[in-house]
């Protein structure tokens, strides 16, 4: 039987939203047609990022997860905004990088992303529209990568990141005080996640796929 080429749901939605921005009507066929209520007296701070590039402009190959170097970025905030964890995951290998920052500011988040990804293969980064990614142009310039933003309130466009955050929260619940988390604890979680065999990777680990290397010992 001849194998047919498949198209991911992510790519379909990208095409629909891109068509909408050009004045098209494909979006009218979506089952959910809810419009977001305007918040009078408040600014939509998610729309204030300068020079942002939409995920609709991102190369189609990123959605296929066929190459290494395409990352998703997010932040996990502790209780009462006491500390935050920068969550970075590579789309093809599911390889994870985490770093704790004292505050969820653009300066600290940008610095953490650059430090974590500088030694690694980076072609694109995709994040949500949070103000903590306001230094995206500086990040992209230093890493020599392209930085894209998902559509507002479309977390499914970064589904791998959302799933990874769920795994991280098993170790660091969102309602806990992140300021008390140590670098050693962060490193141990990264080791565990990157050495966990995944069914979607043919039961290989993220480390094996990203670095093409065998399992390494976990930190005790």
Name which of 48, 64, 75 is nearest 14 in CA terms.
64
> pTM (2 decimals)?
0.77
Length of the chain: 220
Q: Are 72 and 165 in contact (CB under 8 A)?
A: no
Average of per-residue pLDDT across 88-111: 97
- Domain presence at residue 192: no
Query: Radius of gyration (Cα) for the chain, nearest Å?
Result: 18
Torsion of the alpha carbons at 189, 191, 192 and 195, rounded to the nearest 10: 160
Instruction: Specify the CATH number for the domain of residue 170.
Output: 3.30.420.10
pLDDT digits (tens, 9 = 90+) for 111-161: 999 999 999 999 999 999 999 999 999 999 999 999 999 999 898 999 999
Domain count, the chain: 1
Does the pLDDT value for residue 2 go beyond 70? no
- Domain presence at residue 3: no
**Facing residues of 98 across strands?**
87
Q: Show the domain range for 82.
A: 49-180
Contacts of 23 (CB under 8 A, 6+ apart): none
pLDDT digits (tens, 9 = 90+) for 186-196: 999 999 999 99
- Domain presence at residue 65: yes
Average of per-residue pLDDT across 12-22: 66
């Amino acid at each position: 039987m001849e194998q047919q080429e498949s198209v991911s749901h992510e790519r379909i939605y990208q095409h629909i939203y891109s068509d909408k921005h050009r004045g098209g009507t494909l979006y009218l066929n979506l089952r959910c047609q809810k419009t977001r209520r305007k918040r009078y007296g408040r600014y939509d701070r998610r729309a204030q990022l300068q020079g942002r590039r939409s995920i609709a402009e991102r190369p189609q190959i990123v959605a296929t997860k066929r190459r290494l170097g395409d990352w998703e970025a997010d932040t996990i905030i502790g209780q009462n905004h006491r500390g935050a964890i920068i969550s970075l995951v590579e789309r093809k290998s599911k390889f994870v990088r985490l770093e704790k920052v004292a505050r969820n500011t653009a300066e600290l988040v940008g610095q953490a992303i650059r430090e974590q990804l500088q030694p690694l293969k980076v072609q694109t980064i995709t994040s949500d529209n949070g103000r903590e990614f306001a230094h995206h142009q500086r990040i992209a310039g230093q890493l020599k990568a392209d930085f894209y933003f998902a559509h507002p309130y479309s977390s499914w466009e970064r589904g791998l990141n959302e799933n990874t955050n769920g795994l991280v929260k098993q170790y660091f619940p969102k309602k806990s005080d992140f300021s008390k988390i140590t670098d050693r604890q962060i490193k141990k979680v990264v080791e565990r996640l990157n050495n966990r065999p995944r069914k979607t990777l043919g039961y290989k680990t993220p480390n094996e796929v990203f670095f093409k290397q065998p399992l390494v010992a976990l930190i005790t």
